[in-house]
Amino acid sequence: MRRCLVTLVLSLAVVSTQAQTVSQWRTSNGLPLVIVQLPGGDLEHLAVVVPTGTRLVEQVGDRPLQITPRRLAQILTVRAGELQLAAVVSELLEALRETGAAAVVAVGPRPPRDLAQLLEGSENVPWHPLPRQRCPLIDGGIEALSGSPERVELAFGLPEMTDLRLSVAPALALWIELAVRSHVPGVRAGLDLSTGCARLVVRAPAEQVPPRVLLRTLRSELVALADRDPASSEMEGVRIASAARAGRLAVDAAGAAREVAEWVALGGVPAAVLATAEVEISALTSLAREVLSGHSGWGTVVEAEQRGRPPGRESLDNGALLSVAWVPGDLTVLAVALGGFAPRTGGEVLDRCAAAAAGQGWFTHRSEILGVPVVAVAVPAETTNEALELLVGSLQTVEPPSDDLLWAEVVRTLGFAVRPEAETVSLAAMLPLDAETGAEAARKFLAGLGTGSIRVELPAVDRQLRWTPSEGRPRLIALSEIEASPAGVLAAVLLQNRATGAGLELHLLAPPGRLTLGLVGAGEPHVPALDARLAGVWPRLVRPVDGPELRAALARVETLVLGDMAQAAARVAAQPFLPCSLDERALRTVTAGDINRVLGTLPSWTGLLRVAHGPAPTAEKGVRQSAPGAPAAR
């Protein structure tokens, strides 16, 4: 099994200064050794890379070891003065003979010749290089995180660790800071190994503008930077900044030792970590174009948590209804519900609206909530006005489909509207928090809808079989109003499930403020025979409910009213036309006894209004007869 490695950093007696001399070689086993001389301090820092999970002593000499974890390694840090140096190095190398190492780095005041003598024991240390990571180029994406303070990060892939051009990468990071900071205040750039791959990471605080806006600005600035050469003043600025960063070695030589050790263990060169004041302009330009040109980097935005505002509903002067909610993000969801429509008619109208929206490349969601047809459309925030115009305009221009004669009679009986008018339209808009103009645009487009007239009460009807003799297959629709309550909703869905099991269709119809059942049957030689068959089925449909049926009905209702953002918007749009508020808590408090009470209030079969089209029985002599009590042909 492949072993991961641990980086061990050992801090020994060092003297620090800004002058640095780097020596590098390999043992006969291939183990890389690096010595960075920094005269002027009191401690020497050593960094050693060993396998992860290796059991090491807690201290070497009399100095404790400290552990810093990395993705492919752990960094163990120890420091000692000049008097402990020989003992610490000796005990450390003795321990490494059993574990092996990936790299050994020393940072401190001791000359390379003196340290080389102390490190002679490294010839007995096996070389265990770190496993090479596959570094795929992930470009152009964005990851959004919630947190504080708000900030952005942009990461670019760098050449392989063994590429000597990486010695110019620190200068590239400095040039980016100098060139971009006028447009992106506080920008910082640097090299990163946290993923096990070399990356150039650019970070900036989002103090003045939203993080996503700042990310777009940062990307555009880096694209422009890749298309030009650095000015002489910028090169001088890079030189000065590089010399200033070398001061880190005077205050954090142990941290520098850790970075050099990890970098060398992965195959890199120390110059990629240590400050390099002198850089050729051609080398800097070449690396900048390779890393930045044609690449947009992988972006991360950290945004403060935002809370949406609950929807508020208003009725416009023409009777149209508008509900607006503001939610975090850059997406707008618009939902249109048609109330006072037979689902079949309203559904076909909204199907055409959905097709028009899909033609623009927008995602749509068509649904029907307890007889109320709804369409929801998700669009980018910047196209909100365009989407509103398309949806509302589609309602104004579309010709409603023609229902067949049987359903047309039901529509007239229940007082449904035959075309979209302002009073039949409810629009719900979920808008980004900063899209205040979206609500005003919705009012403007809805105000253009014409007014009509729909019934708000069910007309008085005779509870009988209303039969229109006709040729063809007999068809019958039985209508019954059901209690407008959470228990009534669950009972209606339960009846739908039972009707499906019996090979029948039961539609939920939504005259304004009411809930009506429409049981559809077909077949048999004539209408009276069909009516008689359905009369036998009806008592089985309205029988008392049991526990499993109640749970199945509840699950189905929840799928109708609960869902993602589009379904939530659809529910808000449909709510004004529903018989009651579909609150999840209220639905879950309904018991089997509540549903049985509702089922017990439904009339018997002969107490239902039944609308039928089809032939009458034929007498033996070929004379067509009407059923008792049936009306004459119309």
pLDDT tens digit string along 52-76? 777 777 788 888 887 778 877 777 7
Both 384 and 284 in a single domain? Answer: no
Within a domain: residue 68? yes
SS3 labels along 122-179: HHHCCECCCCCCCCCCCCCCEEEEECCCCEEEEEEECCCCCCHHHHHHHHHHHHHHHH
| In-domain check, residue 623 | no
- Confidence at 463, pLDDT banded by 50, 70, 90: low
Report the interhelical angle of 169-180 vs 232-245 (nearest 10°): 120
Task: Out of 303, 336, 352, pick the residue that ends a domain.
Answer: 303
Residue whose tokens read 């925030």: 381
Check residue 453 and give its pLDDT: 53
List, for residues 579-632, the tens digit of each pLDDT value. Answer: 888 778 888 888 999 999 999 999 999 999 999 998 888 765 544 444 444 443
SS3 state at 413: helix
Q: Which of 388, 414, 447 is the last residue of a domain?
A: 447
pLDDT at 272 over 80: no
User: Does residue 150 lie within any of the structural domains?
Assistant: yes
Per residue, the 3-state secondary structure of 226-280, as one string, reads HCCCCCHHHHHHHHHHHHHHCCHHHHCHHHHHHHHHHHHHCCCCHHHCCCCCCCC
Selection from 146, 103, 263 nearest residue 197 by Cα: 263
Looking at the fold, whether 345 and 428 belong to one and the same domain comes out as yes
Are residues 606 and 482 both part of a single domain? yes
Q: Is residue 209 part of a domain?
A: yes
pLDDT digits (tens, 9 = 90+) for 98-147: 888 889 998 989 888 888 888 888 899 999 888 877 777 778 888 888 88
Q: What is the pLDDT of residue 33?
A: 92
User: How many percent of the chain have pLDDT more than 70?
Assistant: 90
Residue 581 to residue 545: CA distance in whole angstroms: 23
* β-bridge partners, 313: 323
Q: Do 293 and 147 lie in a common domain?
A: yes
Q: Is 504 within a domain?
A: yes
* Amino acid symbol at 357: A
Kindly report, residue by residue over 291-341, the tens digit of the pLDDT: 999 899 999 999 887 665 677 888 888 888 999 988 887 889 999 999 887
Q: Which of 577, 338, 329 is nearest to 452 (CA)?
A: 338
**pLDDT band for position 31 (50/70/90)?**
very high
Q: Which two tokens stand for residue 606?
A: 């002969």
- 104 DSSP β-pair partners: 33, 48
Is residue 627 one of the residues assigned to a domain?
A: no
Please indicate, yes or no, whether residues 404 and 549 belong to a single structural domain of this protein: no
| Same domain membership, residue 235 and residue 339 | no
> Which is more confidently placed, 541 or 344?
541
R_g over Cα of the chain: 39
Average model confidence (pLDDT) for the chain? 84
For every residue of 537-600, which 3-state class applies, written as one string? HHHHHCCCCCHHHHHHHHHHHHHHHCCCHHHHHHHHHHHHHCCCCCCHHHHHCCCHHHHHHHHH
Per-residue pLDDT at 377: 94
pLDDT of 454 over the 80 cut: no
Same domain, 416 and 286: no
Q: Residue 562: give its domain's CATH number.
A: 3.30.830.10
Q: What is the largest CA-CA distance in the chain?
A: 128
| pTM for this predicted structure | 0.63
Residues 51 and 198 in one domain: no
pLDDT of residue 479: 92
Task: State the Cα–Cα distance between residues 354 and 600, nearest whole angstrom.
Answer: 40
According to the model, what pLDDT value does residue 68 have? 78
Q: How many domains does the chain have?
A: 4
Same domain flag for 478 and 575: yes
My answer on whether 86 and 54 are in the same domain is: yes
Burial level of 457, CB count in 10 A (0-12/13-18/19+)?
A: exposed
Domain that holds residue 340: 309-447
pLDDT tens-digit series, residues 218-254: 999 999 999 999 999 999 999 888 888 777 778 888 8
Distance CA 629, CA 634 (A): 15
The reply to whether 158 falls in a domain is yes
Whether 402 shows a pLDDT value over 70: the answer reads: no
Based on the domain organization, do 496 and 472 belong to the same domain?
Answer: yes
The first and second tokens of residue 25, run together, are 């070689």
Q: State pLDDT tens for residues 507-557.
A: 998 887 788 999 999 988 999 999 999 999 999 999 999 888 888 889 888
Same domain, 540 and 589: yes
Last residue of a domain, one of 413, 447, 481: 447
519's tokens: 């049981």
Residue 88, domain member (yes or no): yes
